[in-house]
Homo-oligomer: A and B are copies of this chain.
Amino acid sequence: MVMQQIQPREQPAEEAPISLVLFSGTDDKLTAAAVMAVGAAAMGRPVNIFLQYWALEAFTADSVHKDHGASAEAGSDGEKLLSDTAASGKTQHWSELLAQAKEVGDVQIHACALSMEMFELTHGDLDPLVDGVQGVAAFMLAATGPIVFI
């Protein structure tokens, strides 16, 4: 649904990457992040995604398609709206949006090494969307453009 509106531009890929630090693991924030990644990828901008804390937990292989709830402020009305929207089939799941973003552009997804340790996870526990595990220094080294914490 997002992709229908977007025409990839012909342009040099020399723009600075957009670095997304995903910290939150609720479906509303993960969807907002995925929409931003799709938009950036379609504009020809590289996107580096770094998974920490509760967002990392949401990317474990057996967790991706579970219900991750909404931000606390959503309230019960907001939660209901989100699950109705998801059930209507009018919107795509954030994992599908991220898969699209990877097809359209240069989108890398890495798990934060410290968070991996905290949750006692190995690469094999993660969804195939995740390209690898990275330290914060490597992530920051590549973060020559905007850094968005979600």
Contact = CB atoms under 8 A, between A and B. Distances in A.
Contacts of A141: 9, 43
A2 interface: yes
A64 interface: no
B42 A21 contact: no
A118 B24 contact: no
Determine how many copies of this chain the complex contains. 3
B140 A143 contact: no
Contact of A39 (B2, B36, B139): B139
Contacts of A7: 137
A52 interface: yes
Interface string A14-36: 00001101011110110010011
A111 interface: no
- Range of interface residues on A (Cβ < 8 Å): 35 or more
Contacts of A145: 146
A150 B147 contact: no
A99 interface: no
A145 B18 CA distance: 10
A85 interface: yes
Contact of A52 (B23, B32, B114): B32
Contacts of A38: 136
Given A6-B137, A54-B73, A71-B72, 14 more contacts: A5-B135, A7-B137, A9-B141, A23-B28, A23-B150, A36-B147, A39-B139, A39-B140, A42-B140, A54-B71, A81-B119, A90-B117, A148-B149, A149-B150
